Structure 1
Amino acid sequence: MPAHPWLADRTDRFDSSGIRKVFDLAAKMKDPINLSIGQPDFPAPDSLKEAACKAIREDKNGYSQTQGAAALRDRLQQRVDEEWGHADRKLLVTSGTSGALNLAMWALVNPGDEVIVFDPYFVMYPTLCEMVGGVPVVIDTYEDDFQINLAKVEAAITPKTKLILFNSPANPTGVVASDAAARGLAELAAKHNIALLSDEIYREFCYDGALPSPAKWNDQAIVVDGFSKSYGVTGWRIGWVHGPAPLIDKMAALQQYTFVCAPNPLQHAAIEAFTTDMTPQVDAYRERRDHIVTGLRDAGYEVAPTGGAFYVFPKVPEGRGTANEFVTRAIENELLVIPGGIFSRRDTHFRISYAASKATIDRGLEVLRRLVKG
């Protein structure tokens, strides 16, 4: 039963994010070793900040078109057309990638439709599915080093399957799907006439080669992206989605009745991103990835190969309890990490974000070395 008689039944399907609870805990701690935050630790580039102030001073403070400010939308559409060359591919600027995901779910999923989700998953996926009446069909990837097993996917497809939710580089694992997996998933979706949504918000954080997007092999694939992670502007809420024109048009109509539009002055500021080089930041994160993976493995932790985003997803060492119990002990030692059960139906791993200084990472590794010894 809902906690209050006025609340809709659907609100029983979710609680406050476990990640948010860790953030709230961090705010009360004096000097936490915070390896929990899923946002870049570098500041937004000065060029973007100055462009935002300029847009506000120039009174670009009203609504934009629902589809997005024309100047930004045109630049994004040009880039999408150059990359994919799909004749029927259209683009919509959204209120963050979360806005894009919400609009896509509302536009695609009927009550009772099945949505394939890969475990571990971004915390939002199953909840969004259930909020629109969909049925999450969860495919475990632990035994495959968090890569996509295409045989498992094909076995999970039924006449009720409507959508596959795919995220690479992945949150929480940091794993980048192989070319073979991305292509196979694209071809499976086309074969069965199933919508495929590729969440590529961490696309710029690929450390071992370019991201293989399913849109390369499936011209009906829906792609979600944004500026938040790549440019350190998570609070700006500027995302975008591109895909088949009839779907994008309907998502734009839904946006009119929900988000209305993404923040207009910040849309104009985001245009500056097209001429801003973030290579030094990406290179720094690659070095941190190498450093933390080496440190964890040297300490005795099992870590799957990770090629992107800014997360690792170590397994709790044998004999050290569940992930929730292990993270509780970490927090008692002032180390903030996220228990894997927030992202999974298993409680065996935990998420570390290396979007932190090397000094903070080293402090965290020292705590983790102590915890593995008991």
Structure 2
Amino acid sequence: MPAHPWLADRTDRFDSSGIRKVFDLAAKLKDPINLSIGQPDFPAPPALKEAACKAIHDDLNGYSPTQGAAALRDRLQARVDEEWGHEGRKLLVTSGTSGALNLAMWALVNPGDEVIVFDPYFVMYPTLCEMVGGVPVVIDTYEDDFQINLAKVEAAITPKTKLILFNSPANPTGVVASAESTRGLAELAKKHNIALLSDEIYREFCYDGALPSPARWNDQTIVVDGFSKSYGVTGWRIGWIHGPSALIDKMAALQQYTFVCAPHPLQHAAIEAFHTDMSAQVDAYRERRDHVVAGLRDAGYEVAPTGGAFYVFPKAPAGQGSASEFVARAIEHELLVIPGGIFSRRDTHFRISYAAPMATLDRGLEVLRRLAKR
């Protein structure tokens, strides 16, 4: 039963994000080693900040068209057309990638429809599915080093399967799906006429080669992207989604009745991203990835190969209980990491974000070395 008689039954399906609870805990500690935050630690580029101030002073403070400010939307559409060349592929600017995911779920999923989700998953996926009445069908990837096992996907497909949610580079694992498995997933969705949504918010953070997007092999793939992670502007809430025009048109109509539009002045500021080189930041994160993975393995932790985003997902040491229990001990040493059960039906791993200064990463690795020896 809901906690209050006025609350809808659907509110029993979720609680406050466990990640937010760790954020709240961080505020209470004197000198936390915070490796929990899933946002870049570099500042927004000066050109973007100046453009934001200019847009506000130029009184671009009212609503934009629901589809997005024309100046930004046209730039993004041109880039999408150049990259994919898909006939009928259309674009919508959204209130962050979270807004895009919400709109896509509302537009695609009927009550009772099945949605394939890969475990571990971005924390929103199962909850968003259930909020619209969908049924999450969870496919475990632990035994496959967090790669997609196509045989498992084929076995999970039923006449009720409507959508596959795919995230690469992945949160929480940092794993980039192989080109082979990505192509296989794209072709499998096409074969069964199932919608495939590719969440590519971390696509700029690929350290070992370009991201293999399923849109390369399936022209009906729905792609979610945004500026938040790549440019250090998570609070601006500027995302976008592109896919078949009939779907995007219906999502735009839904946006009229929900978010209305993405923040207007910040849409104009985001145009500066097209002239801003972030390769130095990506290179720095690649170096941190290598440093953290090497440090964890030297300390005896199991870590799957990670190729993107800014996360690693090590296994908690054997003989020390669940990952949640291990994280509780880490927090006693003022090290903030996220228990893997927040992202999974298993409680065996934990998430580290290396979106932190190298000195902070070294402090965290030292705590983890000590905990591994217990």
1:92-150 deviation digits (Å, cap 9, x = unpaired): 00000000000000000000000000000000000000000000000000000000000
Are positions 1:373 and 2:373 aligned together?
Answer: yes
Superposed CA deviations along residues 288-330 of structure 1, whole A, max 9, x for unmatched, are 0000000000000000000000000000111111000000000
Q: Which amino acid aligns with 2:245?
A: A
Matched with 2:327 is: 327
Q: Which stretches in structure 1 are left out of the alignment for 5+ residues?
A: none
Report whether the alignment pairs 1:131 with 2:124. Answer: no
Counterpart residue number, 1:39: 39
2:151 alignment partner AA: A
What does residue 285 of structure 1 align with? 285
SS at match of 2:27: helix
Q: How far did residue 72 of structure 1 move?
A: 0.1
Aligned pair count reads 374
1:270-349 matches, cutoff 5 A = 270-349=270-349
TM-score for the superposition, normalised by structure 1? 1.00
| Structure 1 consecutive aligned stretches of length 4 or more whose deviation exceeds 4 Å | none
What pairs up with 1:1-374 in 2 under 5 angstroms? 1-374=1-374
What amino acid does structure 2 have at the position aligned with 1:117? Answer: V
1:225-257 Cα deviation digits (max 9, x unpaired): 000000000000000000000000000000000
Distance 1:320 1:369 in 2: 14
Determine what percentage of the aligned residue pairs are the same residue. Answer: 90
Task: Give how far 1:274 is off.
Answer: 0.1
Amino acid at match of 1:353: S
Give a deviation string over 1:314-367, Cα, whole Å, max 9, x none.
001111110000000000000000000000000000000000000000000000
What is the RMSD of the two structures over their aligned residues, measured on CA atoms? 0.2
Cα separation, 1, equivalents of 2:124 and 2:343: 9
C-alpha distance in 1 between matches for 2:187 and 2:142: 23
Q: Structure 2: how far apart are the matches of 1:282 and 1:227?
A: 14
For 1:231 and 1:30, how far apart are their aligned partners in 2? 29
Q: Distance in 2 between matches of 1:129 and 1:88?
A: 27
1:166-202 deviation per Cα after TM superposition (whole angstroms, max 9, x unaligned): 0000000000000001100000000000000000000
Relative to the length of structure 2, the TM-score reads 1.00
Amino acid at match of 2:313: F
Question: 1:128 & 1:287 partners in 2: Cα distance?
Answer: 34
**Post-superposition CA distance 1:42-98 (Å, at most 9, x none):** 000000000000000000000000000000000000000000000110000000000
Distance in 1 (alpha carbons) for counterparts of 2:346 and 2:47: 43
Q: Partner of 1:104: helix, strand, or coil?
A: helix
Find the aligned partners of 2:60 and 2:369 in 1 and give their Cα distance. 52
**SS of equivalent to 1:28:** coil
**Counterpart code for 2:300:** G
Identify unmatched segments of 5+ residues in structure 2.
none
* Distance across 2 between alignment mates of 1:351 and 1:74: 37
CA distance, structure 1, for counterparts of residue 17 and residue 346 of structure 2: 17
Distance apart, 1:152 and its partner CA: 0.2
Name the CA distance, whole Å, in 2 between partners of 1:324 and 1:304: 19
Cα distance in structure 1, aligned partners of 2:183 and 2:70? 33
1:243-284 CA-partner distances (Å, limit 9, x unpaired)? 000000000000000000000000000000000000000000
Q: Read off the aligned partner of 1:299 and give its amino acid letter.
A: A
**Distance in 1 (alpha carbons) for counterparts of 2:28 and 2:43:** 23
